[in-house]
Chain A
């Protein structure tokens, strides 16, 4: 029973007018979709919805007729959709004329948005003039005989190679392998001899015209023109006779069955709408087929007033700008070159002096370990560094230490910033069911070298995730920042996951991993440390900082920058200090599932998302036993079957308080509403 059953003639008029208004709007919408750039599924859905609306309007009018004839309200005002039967009748195979008739009846041209669907423009009488034979492999054979334009046809010639095929429905319906019955027949009867020379320039032909005598020439694939040419002589460029000449098509005979656009609307594609389960508009299926293209439409009454949350730009100072260190981005060959320079080729002790002026030792007292001790870290990263924004060529000399003299390297070296970013792109998370189940899922995001993180489905369903890695080349750490652009256009971060992306490569007996642990801390804290210490630098000089930290400087402690790291132990102490400061930062331990070191390189290299949805069981008697959710305030006798209420107004019941409370409790527990049995 409808909630507002019309009681008076005026209400009936309003009732019908409302249905007709809906009908008009739905028709306009259908017209728009059929003529627009919409997918076949959307067009199908539009026709489907229109059929529903039409069915509803017919039902309204039938009820009014019943009321006007008898003068009493119809006993049954429950709308029962008869959609499925109608749709099947209209669109099943072999019902071309019915389909044609139905669309014409609706007041607009039949389903035809592009030239590929042109056959749908055929009037029923014209359709009958075809002789189309469909073999089991969907090959369409066309037999054309010469004659007049009295019975025009629509055909497309599709350039498929040496011999042009003919297709009526192309890509949209996956019918691309139609062939002409016989070239001789075709050439003779329509005075057209297909050849490679002409076919190569004409990808698409339309022969004949359904609405009037004439011929529409389509010069190139996808280029549609509605210009009508003369029925007897025309060419690809509007002149000459190298096109179809003197077309005299009298008839095209049809036999067999041809797959046509209306057959696209077959049983397998149509929504399974149970008339007894109908819910206007759009039908109701307890478990909608997936995916549901209708979801979501943002509720109009909800004001989406959230703000975009953007990630900030980092500070313009960093570890590199401190002047302490340099990050060389090196290829494998360059690393090998460096090793050769250090261990074999480069043997002149004076170079050591130049590289280590602050050691102030004799040439003989300087050894390779002194050089290596100036290496803070050496790591491999699983991505090409040349794509980084800070990747900069710095010449062919490898500098270290004071930088007074460098190693002649031979190839251009590159440096990078301590902090740079790797863009991992985006990942769309589509609505799958189009109902509440999309929000009862488990959404797991895997980020290489960081591990997995559970996301709130409400944040990501229907949205697009974007992932960016901030890589700290000072420590090898990384932080994956994941933002989502939700389906309603808002952008906000949903995950920030730390990890370890750089794998330490041991350089010497001093394990690089241990160095990393001592130097740990993110670049921002490192920079903050330097800036904080700069207060002291102003007056006491940087050497004084080191003196304060280690308390272990020699006599050369105040000889400037080069004296900073006169001893390796000093460097270690600095590392300890920096590490201690860095631990106050936000860098957390990487997720255990991500792994570390070279072993982590075996992990999945692409970020991905997993969505796990529970499969719900829907017993046949679910509505009777449990009931579907509802949000209506209704009179109880307008319901049928199992119903559960809250806040029932029992003030109208002539019962004592005890009975009224008992009744209220029963209604909240759920009752079966039925009509009073007849005596």
Chain B
């Protein structure tokens, strides 16, 4: 079977991956291999060690470092890239968006607890003197003498 190897510089979290320096080669795979972690056996001649990504008919794979078998053949192992493999179907899914870069969907007044805070000393103090309480105490007070009796019955 043929597998297209290439270089993918996208973040692994990218939905659709882009490959460059692609090269399609014949490979053999173990008939007992795991479909999500297949081992590709291929001819070393012409092998480009810069390959880090592969696509075949049943999925897209992140490629591991090759294991040279005998100087002629080597084995590279793949790890299924779910996002790229199922990209078209994922794009059609609906989900509840909680964080986004999309301008249309971001909310203005939703608390963003993940926003980083600068150093504590950069906290801003305000309203210290704004609209203060309109009355204040002073040292111009007076005395209160409390005595026994006195006949001034107040509550």
Contact = CB atoms under 8 A, between A and B. Distances in A.
Q: Do A and B come from one complex?
A: yes
A565 to B, nearest CB: 6
Contacts of B72: none
Interface string B87-115: 11111111111111111111111111011
A396 to B, nearest CB: 13
Contacts of B109: 295, 434-436
Contacts of A379: 143-144
A142 to B, nearest CB: 41
B146 A376 contact: yes
Given A400-B150, A644-B98, A676 B116 contact: no
A523 to B, nearest CB: 9
Interface string A374-393: 11111111111110001010
Interface in A317-347: 317-318, 320-321, 323-332, 334-335, 338
Majority DSSP secondary structure for residues of B touching A: loop
A671 interface: yes
Contacts of A648: 93-96
Secondary structure dominating the interface of A: mixed
A631 B107 contact: yes
A221 interface: no
A670 B99 contact: yes
Interface residues of B, number: 78
A79 B11 CA distance: 28
A331 B143 contact: yes
B126 interface: yes
Given A631-B107, A643-B102, A645-B95, A418 B155 contact: yes
Interface stretch (A6-14, A24-32, A661-669): A661-669
B142 A385 contact: yes
A303 interface: no
A1 B102 CA distance: 9
B95 A633 contact: yes
Contacts of B102: 630, 638-641, 643, 673
A327 B123 contact: no
A279 B108 CA distance: 9
B1 interface: no
A457 B115 CA distance: 19
A605 B138 contact: yes
B49 interface: no
Interface in B134-155: 134-155
B137 A448 contact: yes
B27 interface: no
Contacts of A197: none
A312 interface: no
A672 B13 contact: yes
Contact of B110 (A390, A394, A501, A631): A631
Contacts of A320: 152-155
A334 B143 CA distance: 9
B94 A635 contact: yes
Interface in A555-584: 565, 571
Contacts of A416: 144, 154
Interface in A67-121: 78-79
B57 interface: no
Interface stretch (B14-22, B40-48, B61-69): B14-22
Given A424-B136, A615-B123, A671 B151 contact: no
B33 interface: no
B57 to A, nearest CB: 15
Given A381-B141, A649-B95, A608 B133 contact: yes
Contacts of A380: 141-144
Contacts of B114: 626
B136 A448 contact: yes
A661 B136 CA distance: 64
Nearest to B109: A435
A623 B91 contact: no
Q: Which of A331, A376, A383, A618 has the most CB of B within 10 A?
A: A383
B122 interface: yes
A442 to B, nearest CB: 8
Contacts of A628: 99-101, 106-107, 112
A279 B110 CA distance: 14
A650 interface: yes
Nearest to A81: B103
A27 to B, nearest CB: 23
Given A402-B149, A430-B130, A654 B16 contact: no
A632 B82 contact: no
A385 B135 CA distance: 14
B99 A426 contact: no
B148 to A, nearest CB: 4
Given A399-B152, A432-B127, A674-B14, A279 B145 contact: no
A383 B136 CA distance: 8
B87 to A, nearest CB: 7
Nearest to B116: A617
A622 B115 contact: yes
B108 A435 contact: yes
Nearest to B84: A676
Contact of B146 (A375, A403, A424, A674): A375
A332 B142 contact: yes
Given A295-B109, A380-B143, 15 more contacts: A325-B147, A328-B145, A390-B155, A423-B135, A435-B108, A436-B112, A613-B126, A614-B122, A617-B117, A630-B100, A636-B93, A639-B101, A649-B95, A659-B36, A676-B16
Interface of B: 10-11, 13-16, 18, 36, 80, 82-83, 86-112, 114-118, 120, 122-155
27 contacts: A379-B143, A380-B144, A401-B150, A417-B154, A418-B155, A423-B135, A436-B111, A436-B112, A474-B146, A505-B143, A571-B148, A608-B133, A609-B132, A615-B124, A617-B117, A627-B100, A628-B101, A630-B106, A632-B97, A642-B100, A645-B96, A646-B95, A653-B93, A666-B13, A671-B14, A672-B10, A672-B11
